[in-house]
Amino acid sequence: MLINSLPIQYRKFSYNRYLLQIVIQFIRHVVEGLPENLLYIILRYFPYGRYDTNEELCLLCAGIACKKSRMVVSLSNTLFVSSHIMREDTFLYNEFGSYLRGIFGCKVQKITIDAGFTCPNRDGKVGVGGCTYCNNQTFNPAYCHRNRSVAEQMREGISFFAHKYPEMKYLAYFQAYTNTYESLDVLKQRYNEALAVDGCVGIVIGTRPDCMPDELLEYLAELSKTTFVLVEYGIESTSDATLLRINRGHDYACAVDAVQRTAAAGIPVGAHIILGLPGEHREELMQQAAELSRLPLTTLKLHQLQIVRGTRMAEEYVENPTDFHLFAMEDYIETVVDYIERLNPDIVLERFASQSPKELLIAPDWGIKNHELVDKIKARMRERGTWQGRVYSE
């Protein structure tokens, strides 16, 4: 079987969510000299969710290898990619929506959940007061309230989208505070309560890199064999000096360890980064992109530093505003494009900005929606003729 042609480290993948990763690695293995950008243009045109077995996928990969000179890929007499529809600016970056569609074969929406957890950086175990920039009210929708059960929050969130997208599936996004900071029994109960809701096809767990005990990681590895699990770590910065200044309570080595252990367990792993933290300028951010690209990350979320009411950073900003470099929108777009160019092109980019409620936001206020900013970033990438990983080097 052609499955035996796969490099041995990729044969272990047997779940639908790994198919796109297999394609990427296999094509790289068999097609020497294929330009990086062209590889991702090919992947962009795959009809996600079509392939159910590794053997069938290998047939497709073999077809790519055999017909690379014409760049025509055909399986079961179906034409997928043709050179006349390819343009070098087609692929801009690995989009999260396409990643999920590749796994589930349909549109998927995350439903934010507040499961009633706290944070070791608030209750005294690691520190008190929390991270200097953090106000959880900035990202919790109205239905997301810890006085409601996990199932109630899921159902209300689903009802918001279901009338418009009846075929949509949902991921329970455990976002508020630290969603691995409880006993294993309690965590299992909360996760399973979400998964039991009709339409829920997986969970995304937001947490800190210092809150992933081996026992929980083993449980999540088993759970990921039957449902989608993504663990998202708040890394925020690769600089220990910055992490100390914002009172994170852990260093970057802790984040590296958590990401590596999670990936080694076979679990997709994400990272969250804030661009523009005090003391970090363009040079540091470009180095950061290269540093993150060395990690086995599946997904990455970026957003601009925002000064939010009710945080310690807001007080610092009032006292010493010159300590902060807050991005103007155009400057931020250029920085993000530069950053994307340096990222490992295998990493899926989920987000580029955060949008805090007007009543909480002090600065910067760009006056546009997140999707409008994404459109501007894409437009700028096309203007520059660039793409994710253009200047990336392993």
d(CA 269, CA 204): 10
Q: Is the pLDDT reported for residue 113 higher than 50? A: yes
**What does the pLDDT average to over 362-388?**
94
Cα of 282 vs its chain's centroid, Å: 22
Could you give all domains of the chain from N- to C-terminal order, each with its CATH number? 2-85 (no CATH), 96-384 (3.20.20.70)
Question: What pTM did the predictor assign?
Answer: 0.78
**What does the pLDDT average to over 346-353?**
95
What is the structure's pLDDT at 177?
A: 85
What is the structure's pLDDT at 278?
A: 93
Cβ atoms < 10 Å from Cβ of 215: 9
Give percent of the chain with pLDDT exceeding 70.
74
β-partners of residue 171 are 110, 202
* SS3 state of residue 32: coil
User: Poorest-confidence range of 26-35, 46-55, 318-327?
Assistant: 46-55
* SS3 state of residue 125: coil
* SS3 state of residue 232: strand
What is the structure's pLDDT at 176?
A: 86
d(CA 239, CA 226): 37
Vertex 16: Cα angle to 11 and 21 (nearest 5): 60
User: Poorest-confidence range of 6-10, 187-191, 235-239, 337-341?
Assistant: 6-10
Q: Is the pLDDT reported for residue 34 higher than 70? A: no
d(CA 174, CA 58): 35
Residue 180, amino acid: T
User: Cβ(305)–Cβ(277) under 8 Å?
Assistant: yes
User: Poorest-confidence range of 134-138, 157-161, 245-249?
Assistant: 134-138
Distance, first Cα to last Cα, the chain:
32
Phi, psi of 211 (to 5 degrees): -130, 50
Q: Is the pLDDT reported for residue 77 higher than 70? A: no
pLDDT digits 0-9 by tens, 143-182 = 557 678 999 999 999 998 888 888 899 999 999 889 999 9
What is the structure's pLDDT at 32?
A: 52
DSSP H helical ranges for 163-226: 184-195, 214-223
Q: Band the pLDDT of 141: cuts 50, 70, 90.
A: low
Q: Is the pLDDT reported for residue 129 higher than 80? A: no
